[in-house]
Structure 1
């Protein structure tokens, strides 16, 4: 399966009672579609899957599946701390109609690479889905090694890796080493244009929750060969992207949605609110994006 274009790593909107706000969710998805996204990635870390009950995760997956058009890519986040739970979440996603899942290493346990290989093999054996690996060692405490990717390079159901280490050299290595086997997917938002140059044709993008048009314009400009325009857009995006990477990522994404006129509520605990200074910094960084 070939992945292409900008796919938002979706936030999960909450209302004043801290329940999922599906009205706000529909407005958000409609806005994304108008901007030109190519698919949907619900129940990832940006979607606060860690704070959702199993029933809520099911409801989010079903809502997004019902909204999606047939030509839009669907990738479900099915992470959990233990292999058993990952299999349960992945089977749930498959039942609803997701053929692709996004899987980082299980958090907290810090599995070895041999244990992680066994983890992914077990999921593949138990549920008939394609896997997009997710490398974000700063968050998960565990890396996805080249040796692990070597192990799965010839498995047609391991279709790509969302690379969020922030290390461009690693992205170059993945692109060169697994060309035609494991697709490089941009996950380091502040160097997204560099990823495109090194072969990433798709971008699973948290910042597109509130900068969807600019992110899609960047992708379209690069693919059209308009490199100077792509550089100009990336320059406008850079400061906001960089602020997001400095901490409180999900809170800032949700505040960005509010600034764009599509409020999605606050984050669930333990994630707390932004300070006034943090809000002001993000608001100022968004001005060049709005001026595009």
Structure 2
């Protein structure tokens, strides 16, 4: 079982955790999803992470998870790699079965939720045993890890991550440890293999990239993707150090508001920037109050100013009259 691009490493850069657009009826807006896919690509994304927590994966049905992922794969049409979550609960055997099913949509790697391969109280040995069982049950399918905060956050020991990468089956890791020292340990433990660590914690963006991270997979890219792409491209540019530092300070200062009422706030920000997306969500989140909207508006104004200073064209300059597959 081989997909077109599994022989190569996932690329350096920004791999956004994709939103799922919904109609006001609550149904998935598949035409909107195609346009959203184009938006991420136009912003310069190196790959796409479909069917993730930002996609409201736990609120989608099994068939919707497959159809959402298939829609993204078909729209991308091989332009960049696509990964998607393939373990959403059940026994290891059940998770392995869905890994195979979602891989057959044509994605480049299937992402494994670390908190679903062992109970929170289980020791590391249980997690390790179940990971190796999943590997054995899923043939040669490329996999990745996501330290998702739901149902609980299980962090992978760097030594174990290094051992698993040596199987040559693990190609992606969405890192949520929040600890730059541990990020460095993980990068060192996995050197020399077809593998990339993508940090979700934008506070550590430049530090992680300079330490050797392959890129970023952060929710901020659902509000100002151009700025996340810029930092991935210029973090080590000596002539733009001051600009990179200023952008990093902006990322740090905006952490709180970006996480407020998420993912509704991200959809609100996309609306304000001219993208046609409903605010509908299936998740229970904090209210998008007028105060929150005001803070989001100020965030967008500052992001606009930064884009102007950095000479970045807004991805929303077009009307999104894109050719849909």
How high is the TM-score relative to the length of structure 2?
Answer: 0.81
8 Å contact from structure 2 (residues 53, 148) kept in 1: no
Question: Is 1:124 equivalent to 2:135 in the alignment?
Answer: yes
2:25 to 17, 31, 55: 17
Q: Which residue of 2 aligns with 1:155?
A: 167
Tell me, in whole angstroms, the C-alpha distance in 2 between the residues paired with 1:208 and 1:2: 22
**TM-fit CA distance, 1:67:** 0.8
Tell me, in whole angstroms, the C-alpha distance in 1 between the residues paired with 2:250 and 2:155: 31
**TM-fit CA distance, 1:119:** 2.3
8 Å contact from structure 2 (residues 115, 151) kept in 1: no
Report 1:111-260 matches (<5 A).
Answer: 111-127=122-138, 128-136=140-148, 140-181=152-193, 182-222=195-235, 224-225=237-238, 226-245=240-259, 247-260=260-273
Counting matched residue pairs gives 291
Q: Which residue of 2 aligns with 1:74?
A: 82
**TM-fit CA distance, 1:49:** 0.3
Contiguous gaps of at least 5 residues in structure 2 = 1-7, 308-325
Tell me, in whole angstroms, the C-alpha distance in 2 between the residues paired with 1:264 and 1:203: 26
1:99 to 94, 97, 108: 108
3-state DSSP class of the match of 1:161? strand
8 Å contact from structure 2 (residues 81, 108) kept in 1: no
For residues 29-68 of structure 1, what are the alpha-carbon distances to aligned partners after superposition, in whole Å with 9 as ceiling and x for unaligned?
A: 2222211111111000010100000110111011001011
Name which of structure 1's ranges 62-71 and 230-239 shifts more when overlaid on structure 2.
230-239
3-state DSSP class of the match of 1:8? coil
Q: Which residue of 1 aligns with 2:66?
A: 58
For residues 170-206 of structure 1, what are the alpha-carbon distances to aligned partners after superposition, in whole Å with 9 as ceiling and x for unaligned?
A: 1122123332245321111232111111111222232
3-state DSSP class of the match of 1:15? coil
Bigger Rg, which one: 2
3-state DSSP class of the match of 1:249? coil
For residues 198-248 of structure 1, what are the alpha-carbon distances to aligned partners after superposition, in whole Å with 9 as ceiling and x for unaligned?
A: 111222232212211111111112255533332232233332234334x54
How high is the TM-score relative to the length of structure 1?
Answer: 0.90
Distance change >3 Å, CA 112–CA 286, structure 1 → 2: farther
Tell me, in whole angstroms, the C-alpha distance in 2 between the residues paired with 1:167 and 1:264: 35
